[in-house]
Chains A and B, each alone.
Chain A
Amino acid sequence: MTSPPAQASTSVGIVTPQTAQFDTPIALRSGAVIPRYQLVYETYGELNAARSNAVLICHALSGNHHVAGRYTEHDKYPGWWDNMVGPGKPIDTNRFFVIGVNNLGGCHGSTGPSSINPETGKPWGSRFPLVTVDDWVETQARLANRLGIEQFAAVVGGSLGGMQALQWSITYPDRLRHCLVIAAAPKLTAQNIAFNDVARQAILSDPEFHGGDYYAYGVTPKRGLRLARMLGHITYLSDDVMGTKFGRILRSGTFQFGYDVEFEIESYLRYQGDKFAASFDANTYLLMTKALDYFDPTHHYESGHLSEALAPAKANFLVIAFTSDWRFAPERSREIVKALLDNERNVTYAEVKSTHGHDAFLMVDPYYHEVVRTYMGNIAL
């Protein structure tokens, strides 16, 4: 291996999203049919002549297609997984052709509740059907067909993205050689569903929600979405990291005996909530949390055994969990590992010591990145 030149950029640079239009109707798990739709995606690196180096990155709850790089030179923030994807990075775009896609139902360009329903000329709103992880895999497979990719070198995802990667290995066992399931779970616990429902209730009970058709009223249920995000955010962090970062620090140094922002943590959460509410669609948040709740590969099996559900999978797996992730704890990843062991699949499981809670999968950690880098580096193209 040669070391990269001193000034080698590790960014994919300036990127431009693309749009794929699909005119073949898609029948969803719910029974609803979407007659035509579009998916927004980004690609980084080059597809090789054998078309064997494609990697699909599946996004998490509030994610989108913008995985790496920047839209303009002065863009303040890069894509959401810029520390993982790029030239010389763990998922090396010098080697792989990486695809990020905004899921169906999203609010960043793919057809979703805020898109115009061609049949009514108005936003879909409450009429947009619920979508599931299976549905997403189907739309992603169609996008792969469009791009001429028969088989992915790897399908990769964290959290809800990890569930999509896992579902890929079951639905299309021959269409991926490797499956990276990071900070995920085989299905949500009751506690997880409970958190999601509180988040949804915050949105549903916002007076500006208007049954999901707020677009027509020129308003958005910002207060509900903000609350939903604040709650979500708490569950993605750990008590440790909140304590270290914010502790009980008071903004003004003394108690004010009121309900305005006093503690730094309150200020932080409200800021995060506001930022999110300004950029994300409430209907999409509802729909994505339902997709999380519904995900359960054992649903079709009487036994309810994950081992049975994963029996069709052929991919080689890398499963990664983070010690302080209490939303999708390491025990949940070990359930996936156990089911893969029962099926004698190739699987490596890394349990990364981290204080960052669920969000750790988005952060730089030398061990975590080394495992992904080494694993990806070993993939034959």
Chain B
Amino acid sequence: MNASVRPDFEAIGAWVRPGAKVLDLGCGDGSLLRYLRESRNAFGYGVEIADEKIAACVRNGVNAIQSDLESGLSTFASHSFDYVILSQTLQAMRHTEEIIREMLRVGREAIVSFPNFGHLNHRLQVLAGHMPVSHDLPYQWYDTPNIHLCTLKDFEHFCATHGVEILERLVLHRGRRVRLLPNLLGSLAVYRLQARR
């Protein structure tokens, strides 16, 4: 899998220490794990619920545990991973607070990426009276798996009020880093987090 297909892969990969142990939640076909293994010599596991994606993980030669993220991470011991990654899945989670808490229990650090609902394009669509449909949010309101959309500001407020320390942030649009007005011009946010001490 080419990292350019998922721009957050590259960002995540740059943060992952070589040889690190990672847990990828909602790992899909395992391409991020494979990418991290190939580019960072990382060792890890994915968690995934869908049958066809578990089969794809096996094909990709990565470890996958078939399980529902919503039922928690009880299979995983505390502080047993260097990084717990939730790549573009946060917005589809029902129990947002719990998953972030669990990530920070199991991992020394957490990496989260999500589409920024505050992006200009989304705001314009809302202003025009529609729920946004975009490259990053490619669903109609009635068929979207995304139930907890947020903006950068919302997420950062969440972190501040939930004992989560933001170690690093990377905001992207079409694979390029956005430094100016990120909550308006960035369509994809990637955060590196740890539990506040």
- Measured CB to CB, the residues of A under 8 A from B are 318, 334, 337-338, 341-342, 344, 346-353, 367, 370-371, 374-375, 378
Contacts and interface: CB of A to CB of B under 8 A. Distances in A.
B45 interface: yes
Contacts of A371: 54-55, 58
A374 B54 CA distance: 11
B20 interface: no
B4 interface: no
Contacts, number: 50
B64 A367 contact: no
A294 B61 CA distance: 35
B75 interface: yes
Contacts of B45: 341, 347
Chain B binding surface, main DSSP class: mixed
A341 B58 contact: no
- Size category of the binding interface on chain B: 20 to 34
B125 interface: no
27 contacts: A334-B75, A337-B65, A341-B65, A341-B77, A341-B80, A344-B21, A346-B63, A347-B45, A348-B54, A348-B58, A348-B64, A348-B65, A349-B65, A349-B66, A349-B67, A350-B51, A350-B66, A351-B66, A351-B67, A352-B51, A353-B51, A367-B51, A367-B55, A371-B58, A374-B58, A378-B58, A378-B59
B35 interface: no
Contacts of B80: 341-342
A341 B61 contact: no
A367 B21 CA distance: 29
B155 interface: no
A298 B55 CA distance: 31
A223 B169 CA distance: 72
B57 interface: yes
A350 B47 CA distance: 11
